[in-house]
Structure 1
Amino acid sequence: MTTLDVTSRFEAKLLRPKTLGGDASWAFVVLPREVSEKLPRRGRTTVEGTLNGHPFQATLEPDGQLSHWLQVRSELREAAGAAVGDIVALELAPVEKEPEPEVPPDFQEALAAAPEAFKVWNGTTTLARLDWIHWITSAKQLKTRAKRIGDACNMLASGKKHVCCFDPSGYYSKAFQAPKAET
């Protein structure tokens, strides 16, 4: 089998998110659409790469426009010698195998209390688990999140291995977007 080179190289401006009194120690980059098109999926996807030559691994978030954005934590920004507002050089490639996602504690508890759901959960793929978790954690209200956890356990217990009716790209549902940049 021939492996295609899916490494993308590009430059982008390092932006600071507008926040409402939250943690503004991180920055972000919106990927050019042609870079996202080389990735295996429009939803969350993990990449390896470099920022100004400094290596990192991160999970890209969908921006709702069939592209992605990258959160750049302060540690990476400092290690790469980059400041907000700088044009940075990025190199990205999808990881060979998507890492197992971290299951939120409230969902872990619900799965532990639902043995049939837990059994199906363990039989799903890493990408399916990533979508289930993304669907749950993308809820904007705690009430919605709790309902989604209950619904997830019910769907899994009934044998569904993939969350139904969830657009992981946010394009059709308009559910996701990159952060708004500080001006």
Structure 2
Amino acid sequence: MTKTTSSIHFKAKLQRPAEPANATWTFLILPKAASGKLPTRSMTTIDGSLDGASFQATLEPDGKGSHWLKVDKKLREAAGAKAGDEVELEIRPVDEEPEPKVPDDLRKALADAPPEARATWKDITAVARRDWIHWITSGKKAETRVRRIDVACDKLANGQRRACCFDRSGMYSNSLAPPEAAD
């Protein structure tokens, strides 16, 4: 499929996640044809509108060659939509990926890390920083996160710019996938 940076138009059904049962957010899965027009199979930030309500968000890969979007309560209400509705979207990849929010524990570890780690962190792209953050935060256990922060600081100090063996498309691991729908 041809990749584009022009607007992509499509319709999708808003779904409520099965867990947590009291979730105030919804989500939608992009049709494969719409997702195929994006520049990458991995996380990508977009500007868009959902039933006329403007937003910026990062699409997540669904592990099946497409993407999914978490729609928070504020955006859903601005669009006048609810779970179960088919909504109309217009999206466009951003020209430059925004800086990711660095978790406090990683920020502290980087501050305490050797200067080489901080220099590499500062020199890598926002996408590479987002990949490191995702790799660190995707661990299921607290001790895994602590260990990954230590490994990341060590690898960054040695000049490694990318999180090794990170499947950015979600197609070869279960680390990236949409939630299960409640309905």
Task: Please give the TM-score of this superposition, normalised by the length of structure 1.
Answer: 0.93
Kindly indicate whether the alpha-carbon contact (under 8 Å) linking 1:47 and 1:95 is maintained by their aligned counterparts in 2: yes
Q: Residues of 2 paired with 1:67 and 1:40: CA distance?
A: 12
- SS of 2:34's equivalent? helix
**Identity rate, percent:** 53
Q: For residue 81 of structure 2, what is the aligned residue in structure 1?
A: 82
Q: Residues of 2 paired with 1:148 and 1:41: CA distance?
A: 26
The offset of 1:5, in angstroms, is: 4.6
Q: Residues of 2 paired with 1:97 and 1:127: CA distance?
A: 10
Q: Residues of 1 paired with 2:23 and 2:132: CA distance?
A: 28
Q: For residue 9 of structure 1, what is the aligned residue in structure 2?
A: 9
Q: For residue 31 of structure 2, what is the aligned residue in structure 1?
A: 32
| Number of residue pairs the alignment of both structures matches | 179
Moved more, 28-37 or 77-86: 28-37
Q: For residue 137 of structure 2, what is the aligned residue in structure 1?
A: 137
Q: For residue 121 of structure 2, what is the aligned residue in structure 1?
A: 121
**Which amino acid counterpart does residue 51 of structure 1 have in structure 2?**
L
Aligned counterparts, 1:45-64, within 5 A: 45-64=44-63
Kindly indicate whether the alpha-carbon contact (under 8 Å) linking 2:16 and 2:83 is maintained by their aligned counterparts in 1: yes
Q: Residues of 2 paired with 1:20 and 1:28: CA distance?
A: 13
Kindly indicate whether the alpha-carbon contact (under 8 Å) linking 2:45 and 2:59 is maintained by their aligned counterparts in 1: yes
**Which amino acid counterpart does residue 62 of structure 1 have in structure 2?**
P
Moved more, 34-43 or 144-153: 34-43
1:166 aligns with 2:166: yes
Task: Please give the TM-score of this superposition, normalised by the length of structure 2.
Answer: 0.93
Q: Residues of 2 paired with 1:55 and 1:87: CA distance?
A: 17
Q: Residues of 1 paired with 2:154 and 2:5: CA distance?
A: 41
Kindly indicate whether the alpha-carbon contact (under 8 Å) linking 2:12 and 2:29 is maintained by their aligned counterparts in 1: yes
Q: Residues of 1 paired with 2:76 and 2:59: CA distance?
A: 16
Unaligned 5+ segments in structure 1 are: none
- SS of 1:143's equivalent? helix
Moved more, 156-165 or 139-148: 139-148
The offset of 1:173, in angstroms, is: 2.0
Q: For residue 111 of structure 1, what is the aligned residue in structure 2?
A: 110
